[in-house]
Amino acid sequence: MPMQQPLEPSAGGAARRAPGGLSAAARRYGALPMPALDWNAQVERETAPLYARVKTVIPAIEWPFFAPYVKAINALKAERNAVILAHNYQTPEIYNCVADFVGDSLQLAREATKVDADIIVQCGVHFMAETSKILNPDKTVLIPDPRAGCSLAASITGADVRLLRAKFPGVPIVAYVNTSAEVKAEVDICCTSSNAIDVVESLGADTVVFLPDRYLASYVAAHTKVKIVSWHGACEVHERFTAEELRRYRTDDPSLQIIAHPECPPDVIAEADYTGSTAGMIDWVRRRRPRRVVMVTECSMADNVQAELPEVDFVRPCNLCPHMKRITLPKILDSLLHLREEVAIDPAIAARARRAVERMVNLRR
């Protein structure tokens, strides 16, 4: 098996800083001065409707720290003609108070194709920002911290995919969107956890190579007749959950509902009442309104859904994604002020990756 790659983004997709510290985007649009970040009665008044959205998950004592950033970021978005796309794993003050669009990878990829803005600020991890850039080559795509990687994206390179192609000639290759642009450029089609089974079956093949998540691959294999050849990657957050801890929760409260993400190991999924993508899990809780539920996924998502559904009691086995948590309000503000870090992808790689992403986005089943 090939060596695991480091978590930093690959050079092919790395953000670029122009000489002298200014990003290329800052030279195009100009940097802006730092706004005032004082907490005062006016800021309190202006941000009160936003605090009302998160008051069940952000203590009042913490709001004076967040509110000046929330106000400044929302003003800068208008000034920059920028939008913020935020993944479901972002913290509540980002997800509920500054994001224009929220969702899972597929929802964000779709939104990225529709945005009417000059600048996209991606609050998520690096492969998500790359996907936005792939779909919006003429827009400026920023990620507030380019070190926000992903253990799945880091588990495989474009060279690895070329080796798989040579080993399995004629077999279609599907890549989970949690991959770098250079990997997407080598595959036939991308998928997310929402549409993985549909994508695999859309190919009309007996066998499909599915990468890089071995657990999502085994989940797909359990729900299709197509033979799945998997890679050895794993999400460092979801693989930490154990079936035993879920059984303990169930013993303590037999009425507890357990819903799990398909990046979890198979014995964890076997304990779940429902398995689906982050968007699927949120929909499930919205529709079913369980009295108590445990979302077996990154723990910020429970906070975000709790803010919307205060009557549901969320049990929180807190597994944080350290990469998602690199994105903070101060870094988003810095990103909008100085237009960094800009995501740049070799145009030839981006064009090939776009084919695989658009094939997924356009799939209708």
Which residues form the interface with ligand SF4 (CB under 6 A)?
125, 150-152, 178, 235-237, 298, 321, 323-324
Q: Which is nearer to ligand SF4, 257 or 277 (CB)?
A: 277
Q: Are strands 274-275 and 292-296 parallel, antiparallel or unpaired?
A: unpaired
Of the two residues 193 and 335, which places its CB atom closer to ligand SF4 in the complex?
A: 193
CB of 188 within 8 A of CB of 202?
no
Helix, strand, or coil here: 142? Answer: strand
State the minimum distance, in angstroms, from the CB of residue 127 to ligand SF4: 8
For 51-56, which contacts have Cβ atoms below 8 Å and span 24 or more sequence positions? 53/96, 53/97, 53/307, 54/92, 54/93, 54/96, 54/97, 54/307, 56/306, 56/307, 56/310
In terms of CB distance, is 298 or 303 closer to ligand SF4? Answer: 298
CB of 150 to ligand SF4, least distance (A): 3
Q: Report the C-alpha gap between 297 and 259 in whole angstroms.
A: 9
Q: How far is the CB of 68 from ligand SF4 (least distance, A)?
A: 28
- Between 96 and 193, name the residue whose CB sits nearer to ligand SF4: 193
Cα 248 to Cα 256: distance, rounded to the nearest angstrom: 11
Q: Which is nearer to ligand SF4, 64 or 266 (CB)?
A: 266
Task: Give one DSSP letter per residue of 297-323, joined into a string.
Answer: S-THHHHHHHHH-TTSEEE------TT
Q: How far is the CB of 263 from ligand SF4 (least distance, A)?
A: 6
3-state helix, strand, coil in the chain (%, to 5): 45, 15, 40
CB of residue 9 vs ligand SF4: minimum separation in angstroms? 12
Closest to ligand SF4 by CB, 50 or 174: 174
> Is 125 or 256 the residue whose CB approaches ligand SF4 more closely?
125
Is the CB of residue 124 less than 8 Å from the CB of residue 86? yes
Nearer to ligand SF4, 10 or 151 (CB): 151
Instruction: For 111, list phi and psi in degrees, rounded to 5.
Output: -60, -40
- What is the C-alpha separation between 294 and 297, in angstroms, rounded? 9
Helix (H, G, I), strand (E, B) or coil at 80: helix
Please report how close the Cβ of residue 237 comes to ligand SF4 at its closest, in angstroms: 4
Nearest distance in Å: CB 182, ligand SF4? 17
At closest approach, how far in Å is the CB of 84 from ligand SF4?
18
Residue 141, strand partner residues: 120
Query: Do the beta carbons of residue 203 and residue 189 sit within 8 Å?
Result: yes
